[in-house]
Amino acid sequence: MISDSCNTLEEERVGCDGKSTSDEDDVDDMITDDIETGSDDSGDLSKIEIEPRLTRSHSVGAINDRFLCDDNMFSFRMPHDSSVSTLRKKNGPNQKSNASAFTSCLPTVGRRNSIPPPTDYNFVLDNYVEYSDDTKIPRLRGKDVDKLLEAIHSSHPIMLCVFATLSCFLTYSISNHTPFLRADISQALVLCLVLATFPEVAASAGAGAFAGMAGLTAIPNFWWLALLALNTSVVWTFFLRHKVLSGCGGRLGTCAFVAMNITAVVFGMPFGAIPWSLYYDNIGSTNLWIGRLELVPSLLTVVASTFLSAVGGFVRLRAKIPLNPVQAPTTIALVCMLVLEPTQYRYIAEIDAGLAVGSFVAMASEQHLPTVMDFGSAGFLAGLWILLLDPFFLEFGGKKGFTSFCGFVSHVLLSKLVALILASRTKNKEAIAGTKEKSREGKKN
C-alpha cells in the first residue's frame, strides 16, 4: 500500500522528495488554518508536526558508508480513515487517493496523537556479526518488541547454545526418523530455515546441525543426542570466545566433529553404547579403501565438491554487499540436492556428499580464499579428502565439516609452498642475472 501510494505521488511529482504540489499546498494551508483557529476536531491534522525527512540513499555503497557502524531506525505510519477526513471534505471525493498517498508519506517523528493512533512499523538498519568468520553483515530487521527477540538479534550466548541444540535435534530427527531424509539434505533444510528467520545465529545453528548428522550407530538415542548437543554448545562457545579457526572453511563442522569425538571417546565407547569399530572399517585390513570406493561415484563426489565450492565462492566474491558466508553456499547446495532428488540417480548419495563438503569449504573467509580459483582448488582437495577419510569415523557427526577443513588447510599450505618455491626461483634468477652482469662489466674493464 505504501509503495503504491508513493508511486502515485511520484507520477504527479508529489510526496517524499519534498517538492510542493497542489495537494501538498492544500494540506499545508489546512494545517495552518487549523492552527490559527485552534480547531480541536479529532479528525483533522492540526497537531501534526512535520520535521525534515531522512534523505534516502539510492546506492548500496552509500547505505554501507552511512549505516555500517551506527544503528538507525526508520518508521512509517499507515493512514487512518479519520486522518484524511478533512482532506476529503476540502479536496472532494476525486482527491481521495492523493490525500491518502500524501498522508502515508508524512513522517511520524514528533506527531502528537489527537486522533486514533494508526499502526507503527519500525525497522532498524544495523550490523550483526556472523560468527563463521566474524564478518559484519548489514541487516534490516524489525524493532525488538520483547526480550526474547532482543536476545536473539544481539546473539546472546544463551541463544547461540539454544539454537545449536535445537538444530542438532531437528537435523538428527528428520534424518534418522520420519521422514528419513539424508543427513546432507537435513542439515541444509535446517540451516536455510534458520537463515530465513534469524540469520544472526546461523553459525551456531550450523555447528549443531552438523553434529546432528550423526547416524543411529554413533548416537543410538535422544539421550546420547542431548549429550552431543551439550558438548557441541560448550565447544562452540570455546571456539567463539577464543576465535578458534576463525574464517577457515569447515570451522563449524570441525567444532561438531570435536564434540562428537568427546561424546564417543569419553562417554559412549567406555560404556559400550558406541562401538569402537566406528573409528575405522575393516579392522586389521591393509586395504581399507578396496570394496568401499568405486571409480564413477568417487569422480562424481570430487566434481560435486569442486563445483559447489567454486560457485559458492563466485557468488560471495561478486556480491555488492557482504553476504552471510553460510547463506549462499547452503542455499545453492540445497537447491542442487532438491533438483537431483526426483531423479533417483544411483549415485545421488555420493553427489550430495560432495555438494555438502563443497558448501562447507565455500563458507571460508575471502581473506583466505580471495579468488574463485582458490575456492575451486580447496573444494577439489576437500573432495579428495572425502575419499581418503571414507573408511574412518563412520557415521560421525561433523565428519564432512572436518573433511572440508582438511581440504581448506591443504589448499592454504600448498599455496604457501608454491609461493615460496616461486619466490625462491625468482631470487635465484635475479642472483644469476646479477652475477652475469658483474662478469660482463669485469670483462669490459
> What is the β-pairing status of strands 72-77 and 135-142?
unpaired
What per-residue confidence (pLDDT) applies to 293? Answer: 86
For residue 72, the SS3 value is: strand
Of residues 60 and 397, more confidently modeled: 397
**pLDDT of residue 286 exceeding 90:** no
Average pLDDT over residues 369-391: 96
What per-residue confidence (pLDDT) applies to 4? Answer: 47
Residues 162-181: tens digit of each pLDDT: 999 999 999 999 999 989 99
What per-residue confidence (pLDDT) applies to 153? Answer: 86
Name the band, by pLDDT with cuts 50, 70 and 90, for residue 432: confident
Task: Write the DSSP string, 223-236.
Answer: HHHHHHHHHHHHHH
What per-residue confidence (pLDDT) applies to 384? Answer: 97
What per-residue confidence (pLDDT) applies to 386? Answer: 97
**pLDDT of residue 64 exceeding 60:** no
**pLDDT of residue 39 exceeding 70:** no
Q: Residue with C-alpha cell 485552534?
A: 38
Fill in the DSSP letter of residue 135: E
Residues 65-81: tens digit of each pLDDT: 444 444 454 544 444 44
**pLDDT of residue 292 exceeding 50:** yes
Residues 126-147: tens digit of each pLDDT: 888 877 777 788 887 777 668 8
- Confirm if 147 and 134 have CB atoms less than 8 A apart: no
CATH number of 149-418: 1.10.3430
Average pLDDT over residues 329-336: 97
What per-residue confidence (pLDDT) applies to 416? Answer: 94
**pLDDT of residue 49 exceeding 70:** no
Of the given ranges (147-151, 189-193, 390-394, 399-403), which has the lowest mean pLDDT?
A: 147-151
**pLDDT of residue 206 exceeding 80:** yes
**Nine cell digits for residue 10:** 511520484
**pLDDT of residue 189 exceeding 50:** yes
- Confirm if 296 and 346 have CB atoms less than 8 A apart: no
CA distance 398 to 260: 7
- Confirm if 386 and 403 have CB atoms less than 8 A apart: yes
* β-sheet bridge partners, residue 307: none
**Nine cell digits for residue 185:** 539434505
Average pLDDT over residues 115-131: 67
For residue 38, the SS3 value is: coil
**pLDDT of residue 440 exceeding 70:** yes
Average pLDDT over residues 49-58: 38
Q: Does residue 179 have a cis peptide bond before it, meaning omega lies within 30 degrees of 0?
A: yes
Of residues 285 and 84, more confidently modeled: 285
Average pLDDT over residues 278-287: 69
**pLDDT of residue 361 exceeding 80:** yes
**pLDDT of residue 328 exceeding 60:** yes
Residue spans per domain, the chain = 2-118, 149-418
**pLDDT of residue 233 exceeding 60:** yes
What per-residue confidence (pLDDT) applies to 55? Answer: 39
